[in-house]
Amino acid sequence: MVTSDEDPARVASRLTGRAATGVPVTSGTPTHVVLDDGTPVVVKRGDGRGAVRAEVAGLRWLAAAGAVRVPEVLGHDEHWMVTERVPTGHPGPEAALHFGHALAALHSAGAPHFGAPPPGGPGDAYIGLARMRNAPGVDWPDWYAEHRVLPYVRAAVDRGTLRPDEAALFERVCERLPELAGPAEPPARLHGDLWHGNVLWGADGEVRLIDPAAHGGHRETDLAMLRLFGCPQLDRVLAGYGEAAAPADGWQDRVGLHQLFPLLVHAVLFGRAYAQRALAVAHATVG
């Protein structure tokens, strides 16, 4: 019987059909394993129901755009996935510029609607360890409020991370979203969890993206996520993006608005410090 506690080397062999060394290069998950033919792979266990299916579908949807590179999925089942391992190098200005171009092309590939899951992916997906519901929407401000801000405000209140009276501030932000959101844009094909830890700077000079929470959304959300925790060569990434498809005027003033989603997710997962950051951003957003 296959379980989520299966040995990663055995998983790699079972899902790729190729023998593995049996000795993981690293422990835990994700785990680096070397196949007997010398191919290095990454073995990752899903952390929730449907998590593997969502991640595999997300990687394939991003790859289908022919814009950004992602690790190839070599095999998966309900609990595990095996991908190629990307040798990493140092962030460089040319790689950053090219990444900016590629990210703009990814977003331009579009999505059927806001909240669209990747083809074959579940509506109930994940961002990190948090549940993320992909439900369809036509109007971005209403969709963002209903599916990306208020669910995590309620969850943070339930966990005691936010006080009920503090939740009212986020409700005011949501009420004003139509006037704060900037020009209307079509749904973009988002990575969805684009912090710097999910940006791999390849030794070959090309960036790969990992661990997506892919969905149809507003392209400024990915750009805001890159700025939230810092990203190497960010100025060059944004310069490349601007050369390919400049964001709408005033987008930098809307960064905080788009950062509310990941900050609230972090407040639910990691506690009060992130709730305080989200409150500060919300205060700055509504004045």
Q: Tell me which residues are annotated as active site.
A: 193
DSSP-derived secondary structure for 93-113: HHHHHHHHHHHHHHHHT--SS
φ, ψ dihedrals at 128, nearest 5°? 60, -125
Structure tokens at 122: 């579940």
User: What's phi and psi for 114, nearest 5 deg?
Assistant: -65, 135
Tokens of 139: 């109007």
215 contacts 190 by C-beta, under 8 angstroms: yes
Instruction: Please tell me the distance from the alpha carbon of residue 16 to that of residue 34, in angstroms, as a whole number.
Output: 12
Which runs of consecutive H residues, i.e. helices, occur in the chain? Answer: 8-16, 51-64, 93-108, 140-144, 150-158, 164-175, 177-180, 219-228, 234-245, 255-270, 272-286
Residue 19, token pair as written in the block: 């023998």
User: Within its chain, how far is the Cα of 229 from the centroid?
Assistant: 13
The letter for the amino acid at 231 is C
Task: Cis check for the bond before 117: say yes or no (omega within 30 of 0).
Answer: no
Contact 151, 157 (CB under 8 A): no
Count of other CB atoms within 10 angstroms of residue 175: 13
CA distance 275 to 261: 11
